[in-house]
Amino acid sequence: AQSVTQPDIHITVSEGASLELRCNYSYGATPYLFWYVQSPGQGLQLLLKYFSGDTLVQGIKGFEAEFKRSQSSFNLRKPSVHWSDAAEYFCAVGARYGNKLVFGAGTILRVKS
Amino acid sequence: DVKVTQSSRYLVKRTGEKVFLECVQDMDHENMFWYRQDPGLGLRLIYFSYDVKMKEKGDIPEGYSVSREKKERFSLILESASTNQTSMYLCATRTETFATNEKLFFGSGTQLSVL
């Protein structure tokens, strides 16, 4: 069965510091991987996605993620965090053709000044 | 920009009531979804619809039903609300089954409390 694990429920970083949010997945076929962000009171917004090709993908708001097949990971990174990045982040995996995404439990990011 | 509108931001209902959650999209998307979001569990798929009057169960359909009479509107129905259905409900749309540039568009959610 497909699953997504986000090991960190909460992460606190200082403004200007670097960030890495972890995501591990279990999937029987070629995974299609996504990171979504949810700001307080908002719906989810797509940050970036990986379908194929270059394993380092760039997204919006200065985020990037690296797909590592050998580690079944798709970690999200940002070199310098801004206070406005405080939100909940969800990793998700789906099939190339399909109607279901499986989401992780989410990681809440707090940014301290 | 795609707009996905959920009719209520907050809703309070009593146990046993029949509850309707409405979702309307303005982009002629084929696929519509209802997710439930709970702390520590992430998002779980309740039902989805790939066309008018067409629906399929997701991972947690028990206690829910859906209706899609028009392409732009997808309703989630709690036939007899229970306290364990207190949750944030998110509607999402997508143009078609996954392709390279596809993504989900989410509404801002309805926080349902069942007392």
Q: Report the greatest alpha carbon distance in chain B.
A: 43
CA distance to partner chain A, nearest, from residue B106 (Å) = 5
- Identify which of B3, B77, B39, B11 has the alpha carbon closest to the alpha carbon of residue A38: B39
- Please report the pLDDT score of residue A27 as a whole number: 87
Predicted confidence band of residue B27 (pLDDT cuts 50, 70, 90): confident
Name the pLDDT band for A13 (thresholds 50, 70, 90): very high
Work out the mean pLDDT of chain B and round it to a whole number.
91
For tokens 């809440």, what's the residue? A108
- Residue A61 — φ and ψ, nearest 5°? 60, 25
More confident residue, B75 or A28: B75
By Cβ distance, the residue of B42, B58, B108 closest to A104 is B42
Average pLDDT over residues B79-91: 97
Name residue B31's amino acid. N
Among B1, B25, B43, which would you mutate to test the A interface (most chain A Cβ atoms within 10 Å of its Cβ)? B43
Nearest to B101 by CA among A39, A30, A34, A75: A34
Q: How confident is the model at residue B50 (pLDDT cuts 50, 70, 90)?
A: confident
For chains A and B, CB pairs below 8 A equal 58
- Comparing CA positions, the residue from B69, B82, B66 lying closest to residue B34 is B66
Q: Is the pLDDT of residue B14 over 90?
A: yes
The encoded tokens of residue B105 equal: 């568009």
- Who wins on pLDDT, B46 or B104? B46
DSSP-derived 3-state class of residue A67? strand
Other beta carbons within 10 Å of A47: 24
| Least reliable range by pLDDT among A21-25, B28-32, B83-87, B109-113 | B28-32
| Greater pLDDT, A41 or A73 | A73
Q: What is the mean pLDDT of residues A76-97?
A: 92
Cβ distance A43 to B42 less than 8 Å, yes or no, reads no
Hey, are the CB atoms on B106 and A45 less than 8 Å from each other? yes
Task: Give the nearest chain A residue to B43 (CA atoms).
Answer: A103
Which residue, among B17, B42, B37, B19, has the nearest Cα to B107 in the 3D structure?
Answer: B37
B52 and B66 Cβ atoms separated by less than 8 Å: no
Query: Which pLDDT score, from 0 to 100, does residue A104 have?
Result: 95
Q: Which residue has the tokens 């029949």?
A: B18
pLDDT tens readout for residues A23-67: 999 988 778 899 999 998 888 999 999 988 889 999 999 999 999
Res B102 pLDDT > 70: no
Q: What is the pLDDT of residue A33?
A: 93
